[in-house]
Amino acid sequence: MGLAARLRRALRPPRKLSFTRDGRLFVFVAIGVGFGAINTGNNLLYLLLGWALSFIVASGILSERNLRGLTVRRRPPPRVFAGQPFLMEISVENGKPRLPSYSIEIEDLLAGRPLDKRCYFLKIPTGKTQRTSYRHTFARRGLYTLDGFRIATKYPFALFRKSRDVTEATEILVYPAIVPVPRPAPQARQHGDAIAERLGRRGEFFGLREWRDGDDRRDVHWKSSARTGRTMVREYEDELSRRAVVVVDNALPAATLAAVHADAIDAAAEAHLDALERAISRAASLASAYLEAGWSVQVVARGEEVAMGAGRPQLARVLRTLALLPTVGDDVEFARFDARTDSILVAPRGVALGGRPARVGQVVEA
């Protein structure tokens, strides 16, 4: 945090106060009564002015006590996908020894600004914790930091809305959107003059390889593992025909990259960014479909790679890598992959770039 940010934080008032509609009307009437009392010297008007001012003072004292002693926590869901609504759980604990809290509003802060949703608690008893959830949607993938909460109340008379900000940082990793894609079909392999399609998991024994996440423990070759000191598993021919490489082009034209870095995104740059997000979403969807069908998947991009693997751990690695996949120029080369393996290149539609791999089995524009 820079010096200017620290100074702003130190000089920031501990409470924020804003008028409600009824509060503005009440203060306007109180000021009118005050002018009338001063001009006329009427004791009844002075009595009404004193009552109105005491009402305002009591509102400030009670609302301050209402906000104190509250501890707010959030619990995000295990996975969040772009464009898909999710529920964020918010819990509030009242640590005051005697007094309950009434009419409490909680807002999550993103970059110092409240989100479009808020949670409302009618009453939080002494020493108790209340929970509720709000629904939100992140439009794009990436790493978001919720940096705090805004705790507010209109208690007791709804004349003012008093709030205070609490720092509580939580990182939310938003995965690319998963869209429906065709389920991968078994690959045809040439054996002499005949073509065989392997539908089952077991085939002819091919060789040994090291253990990967998602492998079946029954395939472990214990003698070779003991001899080499590494966990070795049996590999079958049908496993070789069930490998796929998803290649995603994460490059943008030089003009679009310059606009993104300068935070001056125009309509053309926005269109390129949207096309790239669709391509990354399509790549994540393809990888997910292949992994769910029992395939081993490798994901390759410019400057990034997820090694070949299978199962749920591989899906988690793929989604995390694609969620954080940076945009680069077309001068950055793709990571290497075996050209003999089934491969699909997913590229942004309408974005012409150089340096793409020539030996890919299929090209998909998203």
**Could you read off the pLDDT of 15-68 as tens digits, one per residue?**
888 889 999 999 999 999 999 988 888 889 999 999 999 989 999 999 999 999
User: Which whole number is the average pLDDT over 339-359?
Assistant: 81
How many folded domains does the chain comprise?
Answer: 2
For residue 277, count other CB atoms closer than 10 A to its CB. Answer: 20
Residues 26 and 153 in one domain: yes
Query: Average model confidence (pLDDT) for the chain?
Result: 84
| 97 is a domain residue | yes
pLDDT attached to residue 230 = 86
One domain, residues 157 and 20? yes
Note the pLDDT of residue 183. 64
Element (H, E) at 1: none
Which of 175, 209, 231 is the C-terminal boundary of a domain? 175
Phi and psi at 105, nearest 5°, equal -115, 135
Please indicate, yes or no, whether residues 192 and 143 belong to a single structural domain of this protein: no
* Burial classification of residue 106, based on how many CB atoms lie within 10 Å of its CB (0-12 exposed, 13-18 middle, 19 or more buried): buried
| Same domain (yes/no): 42, 81 | yes
Q: Is 354 helix (H, G, I), strand (E, B) or coil?
A: coil
pLDDT in tens, 114-149: 988 889 999 999 999 999 999 999 999 999 999 999
> pLDDT at position 177, please?
94
Residue 297, beta-bridge partner list: 244, 309
235 in any annotated domain: no
Distance CA 111, CA 148 (A): 9
* 230 within some domain: no
Same domain? 150 vs 269: no
Over range 82-102, report the average pLDDT: 93
Asked if the model's pLDDT at residue 195 lies above 80, the reply is no
Residue 1 lies in a domain: no
Strands 243-248 and 342-347: parallel
Q: Which domain holds residue 59?
A: 14-175
Query: Facing residues of 334 across strands?
Result: 302
Residues 149, 259, single domain; the answer is: no
The last residue of one of the domains, among 175, 207, 230, is 175
Q: Model-level pTM?
A: 0.76
Q: How far, in whole angstroms, is CA 307 from its chain's centroid?
A: 24
**CATH code: domain of residue 90:** 2.60.40.10
The reply to whether 291 and 330 lie within a common domain is yes
Q: Same structural domain for residues 24 and 170?
A: yes
Looking at the structure, do residues 103 and 192 belong to the same domain, yes or no? no
Residues 149 and 261 in one domain: no
Cα–Cα distance measured from residue 352 to residue 32, given in angstroms and rounded to the nearest whole number: 69
The answer to whether residue 103 sits within a structural domain is: yes
Where residue 204 falls among pLDDT bands split at 50, 70, 90? low
Determine the pLDDT at residue 361.
79
284 — pLDDT class (breaks 50, 70, 90): very high
In a 10 Å sphere around its CB, with 0-12 CB exposed, 13-18 middle and 19+ buried, how is residue 179 labelled? middle
d(CA 47, CA 306): 76
* Whether 90 and 147 share a structural domain: yes
Instruction: With respect to residue 84, please indicate whether it lies within any of the assigned structural domains.
Output: yes
Q: Are residues 149 and 247 in the same domain?
A: no
